[in-house]
Amino acid sequence: MAAKLLIGLDGSGSGSRAVDYAKKLALLIGNCELIVVYIIEWSTYSFQSAEENAVRHKRREEEIEAATSRLVNPAVEALKAEGFSARGIVKHGDVADLLDKTAVAEKADQIIVSRTSDGGIVERVFGSATASLVMHACVPVTVVG
């Protein structure tokens, strides 16, 4: 059975550090699948009319398509070109919660994310979504600096 490493992309250049670390780890493991995941931050807490919800749903689908084509597919294609087993997933919701839920659903052995920040001390050390993920994940999390 192949090991599974879930890589959380953040849409910035720091995501490439997580991908690079996952590649090194996958080479050490051997039989390993890399699952590239991008979560579009999306709050479900909103009171809207049926028309507003229809527009919001359409926008959500457009964002998923854009993230898939601009971020996830290129990362997956690059990994495959280097000989890695890889696939991608894009979802909407809370970043930390969905990375964890996706890791559990995919039976991932580990989540790999990069450290990003531009806020207070916790954000400077990890990033708010990363800090939440580290504190609550059901599988081991590696934070790449």
Domain boundaries, the chain: 3-144
pTM to 2 decimal places: 0.84
CA 36 – CA 34 distance, rounded (Å): 6
pLDDT of residue 47: 62
The pLDDT value recorded for residue 132 is: 84
β-strand partners of 142: 112
Q: Are 86 and 79 in contact (CB under 8 A)?
A: yes
Spell out a b/e string for 89-100, using b for 16 or more CB atoms within 10 Å of the CB, else e: bbbbbbbbebbb
Residue 112 predicted with pLDDT over 80: yes
Instruction: Count CA atoms within 13 Å of residue 87 on its CB side.
Output: 6
E strands along the chain, which residues? Answer: 3-9, 32-41, 85-93, 110-114, 141-144
Residue 42, pLDDT above cutoff 50: yes
Q: What is the rounded average pLDDT of the residues 86-103?
A: 94
Residue 121, pLDDT > 50, answer no
Mean pLDDT calculated for residue range 43-50: 64
Q: Give Cα 123 distance to the centre of its chain.
A: 18
Categorize the per-residue pLDDT at 119 as very low, low, confident or very high, splitting at 50, 70 and 90. Answer: very low
Centre a 10 Å sphere on the Cβ of residue 60 and count the other Cβ atoms it contains: 13
| CATH fold for the domain made of 3-144 | Rossmann fold (3.40.50)
Distance in angstroms between the alpha carbons of the first and the last residue of the chain:
30
Residue 127 confidence class, pLDDT cut points 50, 70, 90: low
pLDDT value for 65: 92
pLDDT averaged over every residue in the chain:
85
**Predicted local confidence at residue 14, as pLDDT:** 66
pLDDT value, residue 54 = 75
Instruction: Confirm if 21 and 73 have CB atoms less than 8 A apart.
Output: no
